[in-house]
Amino acid sequence: MVKVEINGQVIEAHEGDMLIDVADDAQIAIPRFCYHKKLSIAANCRMCLVEVEGAWKPLPACATPVTDGMKVHTKSAKAIAAQKSVMEFLLINHPLDCPICDQGGECELQDVAMDYGDDVSRYSESKRVVSDREAGSLIKTDMTRCIHCTRCVRFGQEVAGMMELGATGRSEWMEIGTYIEKSITSEMSGNMIDLCPVGALTSKPFRYTARSWELKAHKSIAAHDSMGSHITIHAKGQDVKRVVPRENEAINEVWLSDRDRFAYEGINSESRLTQPMIKKNGTWQVTDWETALAFAVSGLQNILKTSKDMGVLASANSTVEELHLLQKLARGLGVENIDHRHRQVDFSADEHGFNTPALKHDLAAVEKLNAVLLVGSYLRKELPILNHRVRKAVQAGGKAFVVNPLDFAFNYKISNQHNDSGMVFELAGIAKAACELKELDQAWLNSITASEEQKQIAQSLLDAANSSVMLGQIAQGHEDFAVIQKLASIIAEAMGSEINVLPLAANEVGAHLVNFLPKSGKNSSQMIAGGMKAFINLNIEPEDFANDSAAISAMNEADFVVNLTAFDSKTQREFADVMLPIATFAETAGTFVNANGLKQSFKMSVEPKGDSKAAWKVLRVLGNMFDVEGFEYTHSNEVLSEVLDNVASQVNLSDLDCKLPSKNNDTTVKIVSPYQVDAIVRRSPSLQATPDANIETMGRG
């Protein structure tokens, strides 16, 4: 440790720490534009110039390491003069369009100019004008405002892992752009908007819809993947206007995926269902809640008099409270056909019990992995925040291996070549190599011969002090999922790795915790195979199933279907008999359980649209109308308290009874685009206009 004096205040710091970091820790303000704590040091804006005793000129605080006995002045006449000079140069070409700039009111340049700028410029020359770049449907560019801080460029290189923006030219002819006119395609691109200290990069969906001072901020949790990213929802009145990241070093640091950032547009979709509707004599009627609920209860009771063949299906993006109440209602009615795993097609492992998907490493620990084997996963698109941590591990010297049906474009180096033999047989080869290394007997793998590359992968996992095997969306949707789990488990046990069946939806772990599973009933695939007399659907659409056409057919064949949904659609109108409008995650209080098992509760950010209600409240009333015991709740916390101590069930996957398939079944897997995963995301126009919205144009290697 060394002692540094800043403005007369003695501070202890680690030798080599940058002066700006030491000052920040001591809450001593130093202006800056190019510096960001998560990016490399560029030192090109010079706004952080300070006076250091013994130095003949002001030094940039972001690029000056502290030394013992250093004396620094950030408010001396010399420092202030240097900072004002830099501010004057920055404003020479900056346009005076603050009144129409979306960054107005939260602009770093505005804030710093108030302290260090003059009211009159000494320069009378014409300001430069830079043509805008078409960067896609998410980011709006106004490059005349750019001050060349290069934060966006460094973010692309260092965080997103894609050199999408760069600088061409020099001096006042320098321009930031894509060089070749093209969209920015990174799944984390929206973070450039947060990083930009001026209005050069702004949110295209948010543009001209509100001013920053009109917005009310609400803390919440992202609702579209299992990371549980911390977000702030900005609302104006009853409308969500934008979503931005909230700093949480343990989970999403300061970043947010584009899916979590821009999906809010779906909340304001024109297809929102805002009033209860019932179908009588084939005609839809808008009605009140009392009538709609009575109609739903009557229809379901008529079915239950003669049959328990009722399917209860829900989205794993529903809250813990909603899922708990729905399964409690179903079991109170004697119904056991309960499931949330709609994209899974192989349920053979259920004979051994229900294995709760989980990420068994803390996200910080993922960065320290020496080797990771990704099985059936395009992790970059499925879970961008987790992928960012894996990328850090690879950058630190770790190795990443993949077993996929297609050669996807990852944003870090993959250490093995794509193999066309099929996921199961590639994985079997690695498992065989792992067993040979540890002299383990797996007779069912006798027909497999490990290749040299498969042996190298097994050896790398064995040599790694910290290693992991991760199963993603493609593995979980594979018709040989049980075999894949068994093989991955054998590899993990032999190599001393952790096996992680990655949860994908926001509350997949929570769905397992509340037992939203067919313990003695039919699974999702069996339910949509036909024969069900009725369905209760929570927050799902046919697009959420691996076989959407079978789901539609099963719903059409059923005698009575109740949909608790936030959205109206032509397809739902064809098969449903009742549509009850429910609130989205931004319009209700609830809890999500993330991939690490962390329970995170959030409050309502905006009032529900129209006459829609929080789903847990609707289910509470249904429970009372059906005379099911235990539905006397007055607050969502009372619902949560019933399941707070529930423990996730686990299965030893290496004990699964299965055999190798006779052929490669990779082509039967339905790969889902990251922007088609749930009803809200599917209704975000900006996300649907990106290449990733279509599985055919999603990035491939």
Q: What is the pLDDT of residue 701?
A: 44
Give yes or no for residue 451 having a pLDDT over 90.
Answer: yes
Question: Rounded distance, CA 575 to CA 479, Å?
Answer: 28
- From the list 522, 534, 527, 532, the residue with the least C-alpha distance to 298 is 534
User: Residue 137 corresponds to which tokens in the numbers above?
Assistant: 């449907």
Closest CA to 472 of 579, 396, 359, 560: 359
71: phi then psi, degrees, rounded to nearest 5: -120, 125
pLDDT at 651: 93
Q: Give the whole-angstrom CA distance, residue 591 versus residue 320.
A: 5
**Class of the 277-344+508-643 domain?**
alpha beta
pLDDT on residue 619: 97
Q: What is the mean pLDDT of residues 187-213?
A: 96
pLDDT in tens, 348-377: 999 999 999 999 999 999 999 999 999 999
Determine the Cα–Cα distance for residues 63 and 41; give it in Å rounded to an integer.
7
- The token duo for 426 is 């590639």
Q: Which CATH superfamily is domain 363-502 in?
A: Dimethylsulfoxide Reductase, domain 2 (3.40.228.10)
Q: How far apart are CA 193 and CA 214, in angstroms?
A: 19
Q: Which of 435, 470, 468, 467 is nearest to 450 (CA)?
A: 435
Q: Are 590 and 321 in contact (CB under 8 A)?
A: yes
pLDDT tens string 55-81: 999 999 999 999 999 999 999 999 999
Q: What is the pLDDT of residue 248?
A: 97
pLDDT at 230: 98
Spatial CA neighbour of 271 closest among 66, 70, 571:
571
pLDDT surpasses 90 at 23 = yes
Q: Which residues contact 674 (CB under 8 A, 6 or more apart)?
A: 187, 259, 381, 382, 681, 692, 698
pTM over 0.85: yes
How far is it, in rounded angstroms, from Cα 564 to Cα 540? 8
Q: Where are the alpha helices (DSSP H) in 134-275?
A: 151-155, 191-195, 258-262
Residue type, 320: V
- Sorting pLDDT into bands at 50, 70 and 90, what band is 645? very high
Kind plus residue range of the DSSP H or E element containing 403: strand 399-403
Domain map (residue ranges) of the chain: 2-90, 277-344+508-643, 363-502
Is pLDDT of 700 > 60?
A: no
Q: Which of 314, 229, 303, 307 is nearest to 515 (CA)?
A: 314
Model pLDDT, residue 167: 87
Dist CA 526 CA 443 (whole Å):
32
> What is the SS3 assignment for 371?
strand
Instruction: Kindly report the number of other CB atoms within 10 A of residue 27's CB atom.
Output: 7
Q: What is the CATH class of 2-90? A: alpha beta
Within 13 Å, how many C-alpha atoms sit on residue 181's CB side? 4
Q: What is the mean pLDDT of residues 660-678?
A: 94
Tens-place pLDDT, residues 400-434: 999 999 999 999 999 999 888 999 999 999 999 99
Q: Is the pLDDT of residue 592 over 50?
A: yes
Structural tokens at position 184 = 């920015």
Contact 145, 200 (CB under 8 A): yes
The mean of the pLDDT values for the chain is 95
Give the residue-averaged pLDDT of 265-272.
96
DSSP codes of every residue in 32-97: -SS--TTS-----S-TTEEEETT-SS-EEGGG-B--TT-EEESSSHHHHHHHHHHHHHHTTS--S-
Q: Name the nearest CA neighbour of 436 among 458, 453, 461.
A: 458
pLDDT at residue 233, as a whole number:
98
- Give CA–CA dist 261/242, Å, rounded: 7
30-47: average pLDDT: 95
Check: CB of residue 591 under 8 Å from CB of residue 599.
yes
Nearest CA to 477 out of 670, 658, 640 is that of: 670
User: Residue 89: is its pLDDT beyond 50?
Assistant: yes
Closest CA relative to residue 367, chosen from 538, 225, 552, 159: 159
Q: In what helix (H) or strand (E) does residue 4 lie, and over which residues does it extend?
A: strand 2-6
User: Phi-psi category of 334—alpha, beta or left, where left has phi over 0 and alpha has psi -120 to 50?
Assistant: left
Spatial contact of 428 and 367, defined as CB atoms under 8 Å apart? no
Query: What was the pLDDT predicted at 527?
Result: 97
**551 token code pair:** 């789901």
CA-CA distance, 191 to 281, in Å (whole number)?
A: 51
For residue 172, what are the CA distances in angstroms to 20, 90, 95, 175, 315?
Answer: 27, 11, 14, 8, 53
Q: Which residues partner with 333 through β-bridges?
A: none
Find residue 243's DSSP bridge partners.
233
Burial (CB count <10 Å: 0-12, 13-18, 19+), residue 122: exposed
* pLDDT for the residue numbered 178: 82
Q: What percent of the chain has pLDDT over 70?
A: 100
For residues 296-323, give the mean pLDDT: 97
Q: How many other CB atoms sit within 10 Å of the CB of residue 663?
A: 10
